[in-house]
Amino acid sequence: TSLLLMAGIMLTVGLCRRLTRRRLRLRPRLCTFLLEMFSTFQICACTKELCLLGNVEPKPHTALTLTYGFTVLHGLTLPGSTCNPCGTLQPMWAGGTSVKTGGLKIAAQFVAAVLARVFMHFIWSLGMAETHFGALSQDCSHPMQTAEIQAFCIELLFSVVFQLTALRVESINPKYKVHVIAFLITMLVYAGGNLTGAIFNPALAFSLHASCFYDKFLSYSLVYWIAPSLGKFLRLYVF
């Protein structure tokens, strides 16, 4: 049921993206906003559902296999979208994207994060799958299972590694690029998922753990917003 739900989300988002491109070609800003919003919604909604499957046996093989598979599918079905505020900052800083366009994309990403959270809570309330029972009671699942400074360093390091790899594979065939990125994300999740969740995406982190931000805003914003953003700028300046 969970797999069918995620497949349905991807098909619906694909249809919405196609209609947006067809109907809003003459309104580029609105088109840009909606495309980024739909794409980020797909990432956030599918990841929230995927998190419920993390305890499915055999552990962690099932979760890692699904992470790799759906990351490949996201890469193939969402071309041209960053779905990550940190990824949007790079062209803004380099001058390839205007501040208005970049700000519009970041706004779309956080709007999608909120919409995905609301939508998935509604789906879980229907009790469509066994994993959905009790999911709503987990207000804050506390993804940080280590000291705050260590969590900050992990998310910072993972952000730098991810951005560097994405830069290095820019020129290769997109069919192979998505597999490289998916393999890297799977390895990072395996390495640090039990400590911080290995998210390195501010919008996704807010969608997954919004209630944690309400409870401990400074700690979670430092680890899941500032650390990935700082990793982006470190990659730009140092490398």
Q: Assess contact for 204 and 71: CB atoms under 8 A.
A: no
pLDDT of residue 92: 78
CATH of 1-235, one of 1.20.1080.10, 3.40.50.10810, 1.10.287.110, 3.40.50.300: 1.20.1080.10
Token couple for 96: 């390839």
pLDDT band at 118 (very low <50, low <70, confident <90, very high): very high
pLDDT of residue 137: 67
Q: Assess contact for 35 and 16: CB atoms under 8 A.
A: no
d(CA 230, CA 53): 31
Mean pLDDT of the chain: 89
Q: Is the pLDDT of residue 102 over 80?
A: yes
Q: Assess contact for 46 and 70: CB atoms under 8 A.
A: yes
The pLDDT tens digits for 122-168 are 998 888 877 787 777 665 667 888 899 999 999 999 999 998 888 88
Q: Is the pLDDT of residue 107 over 90?
A: yes
Mean pLDDT of 58-85: 91
Mean pLDDT of 167-186: 90
Q: Assess contact for 188 and 158: CB atoms under 8 A.
A: yes
pLDDT of residue 239: 66
pLDDT of residue 141: 67
pLDDT of residue 183: 96
**Is 199 strand, coil or helix?**
coil
pLDDT of residue 45: 96
Packing angle between helix 148-168 and helix 174-192, nearest 10 degrees? 170
Q: Assess contact for 129 and 201: CB atoms under 8 A.
A: no
The amino acid at residue 12 is T
pLDDT of residue 143: 81
**Where is mean pLDDT largest: 12-16, 193-197, 232-236?**
12-16
Mean pLDDT of 101-110: 94
Q: Is the pLDDT of residue 220 over 70?
A: yes
Residues with Cβ within 8 Å of residue 3, at least 6 apart in sequence:
none
pLDDT of residue 138: 62
Q: Assess contact for 101 and 88: CB atoms under 8 A.
A: no
Q: Is the pLDDT of residue 71 over 90?
A: yes
Q: Is the pLDDT of residue 93 over 80?
A: no
pLDDT band at 44 (very low <50, low <70, confident <90, very high): very high
| Structure-model confidence comparison of residues 58 and 70, the more confident one | 70
